[in-house]
A = this chain, B = another copy of it.
């Protein structure tokens, strides 16, 4: 691991370290001769600049960190992909870190990135409070205290003043519940996310609002709290099967708050012989490629993850350029956040409610976009 330094290159090229540095970092104040000699020497010696030393002087590292909450969730994989692409466009390298839905792991990664002086951070944050209003973890606090350009993505922490890019689903859930209602569904269950995340909260709230708007009662017994991972989706499905034993509470439809839970739940339902779209209508949040495996096609509530990633990078870039320094001053909660709108897509996993008295003919609600399933285009 003998290190080739700038001095070595300079010496080999017969110039001073300063000149070598200028050539290699594209400083225009160089002669053609010097340029050639230095570049040849660098190539010959296999020189790669020591970024540590470099950014020790220049403070820029041309890299950002992306903290996601679960690598194995396809939704976040998609997010990572779009962030990386957008960042690359701007000449930034992205370091992906996985919090694994664990505040400690989040802080380890953030700490490491903090030490490495990344130019900025994109984070799907883990909060710290057990209950309703989660606060920032220590590393996150330091990040903000140090005024390191930071943008929260997908989720927010209510008490943390930071730029954010999120999605909201009130209208979409309203549409979904409306479609179900028209088909005769009256008891719509939810397999939801962990209550300490803003996304889960938002989805519960949209659900409650939609029920009310359609004149349906909110029944706490129809709500299952999962953790956004497949195992609890499966649990939720078993809970649902139990619920269906009792004709009084028996739900005829279910909303599932993310794709891993949907995968877990649908596997259990199929094993139990429940026919999706006939015995039970299903709407799931997020839209991932693997949903193409399911028959009937799944009705979804989703937003454009690619757009979310790009927006987040844009927001971060503007912070990096010091543009939005003002908004960082703004006290209070959400600071200059962008919100994407989710959309409801009606597909075959929704059908007439089993016990309903001759439901409406065919489900053709006009407010709702109907997209054919099938493999999405390549990128």
**Measuring CB to CB, which residues of chain A are less than 8 angstroms from any residue of chain B?**
1-4, 46, 48-56, 63, 71-72, 74, 77-78, 80-81, 84, 88, 93-98, 100, 105, 108-109, 111-112, 114-117, 141-142, 145-148, 229-234, 260, 263-264, 266-268, 270-271, 288-295, 373-378
Contacts and interface: CB of A to CB of B under 8 A. Distances in A.
Given A148-B1, A267-B375, A290-B263, A71 B80 contact: yes
Give the most central of A116, A147, A288, A293: most B CB within 10 Å.
Answer: A293
11 contacts: A1-B147, A3-B146, A46-B142, A46-B145, A52-B52, A72-B289, A74-B74, A84-B100, A267-B373, A267-B375, A295-B295
Question: Would you call the interface of chain A mostly helix, strand, loop, or mixed?
Answer: helix
A295 B275 CA distance: 12
B148 A115 contact: no
Contact of A105 (B88, B105, B263, B267): B88
A142 B375 contact: no
Nearest to A78: B72
A375 B268 contact: yes
Nearest to A377: B231
A80 B105 CA distance: 14
Given A72-B289, A95-B95, A267-B375, 16 more contacts: A1-B148, A46-B146, A48-B115, A52-B115, A53-B56, A56-B56, A71-B80, A74-B77, A80-B98, A93-B97, A93-B108, A229-B378, A263-B292, A267-B292, A267-B373, A290-B290
Nearest to A1: B147
Contacts of A63: 112
Give the most central of A81, A142, A233, A375: most B CB within 10 Å.
Answer: A375
Contacts of A109: 93
B295 A231 contact: no
A74 B290 contact: yes
A203 to B, nearest CB: 21
B51 A267 contact: no
Contacts of A97: 93-96
Given A88-B105, A260-B289, A234 B375 contact: yes
Contact of A292 (B98, B266, B374): B266
Contacts of A95: 95-97
A263 B46 CA distance: 42
Nearest to A111: B48
A50 B290 contact: no
